[in-house]
């Protein structure tokens, strides 16, 4: 069994085995087009990807149905936005995070600190994760 690494952030703790953090996939590769600095950054963050995903996922669980944006998560957790954004993208792709929608089924958006508009996401509930029902189709399928 691999070593367990603990990371701490305000109110959260994650124990993850070493072998669970072997995650070389770069979710942002299509966006950066093979940029050498981006590829190097992905290699540097590999040991912490699983820990960061779990930390961020727990933040979204804590937020409940109100959800949050990636920028809000990064700010409140005290982590770099770029790391948070990539981990959020991974969790959106695997449907760990799903869009918060309004009463008309339209995705909810919030203003960022730059004045742009960002999607609001939430963690899937245990019933949604178990496949008991699918609350909404993925926006990233």
- Per domain, the residue ranges of the chain are 4-130
DSSP codes joined into one string, 65-126: GG-B-HHHHHHHHT--HHHHHHHHHHHHHTTSEEE-B-TTSPBPEEE-TTS-EEE-EEEPPH
Q: Write down the pTM of the prediction.
A: 0.67
Please give the mean pLDDT across all residues of the chain: 76
Query: What is the structure's pLDDT at 124?
Result: 93
Second-level CATH architecture of 4-130:
Orthogonal Bundle (1.10)
Percent of the chain clearing pLDDT 90 (strictly above): 45
């Amino acid at each position: 069994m691999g070593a367990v690494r603990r990371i701490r952030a305000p109110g959260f703790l994650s124990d993850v085995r070493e072998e669970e953090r072997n995650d070389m996939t770069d979710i942002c590769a299509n966006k950066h087009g093979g940029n050498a600095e981006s590829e190097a950054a992905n290699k540097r963050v590999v040991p912490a990807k699983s820990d960061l995903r779990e930390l961020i996922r727990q933040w979204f669980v804590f937020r409940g149905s109100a959800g949050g944006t990636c920028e809000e998560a990064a700010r409140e957790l005290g982590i770099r936005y770029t790391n948070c954004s990539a981990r959020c993208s991974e969790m959106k792709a695997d449907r760990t995070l799903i869009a918060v929608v309004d009463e008309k089924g339209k995705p909810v958006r919030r203003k960022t600190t730059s004045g742009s508009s960002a999607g609001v996401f939430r963690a899937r509930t245990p019933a949604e994760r178990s496949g008991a029902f699918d609350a909404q189709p993925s926006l990233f399928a």
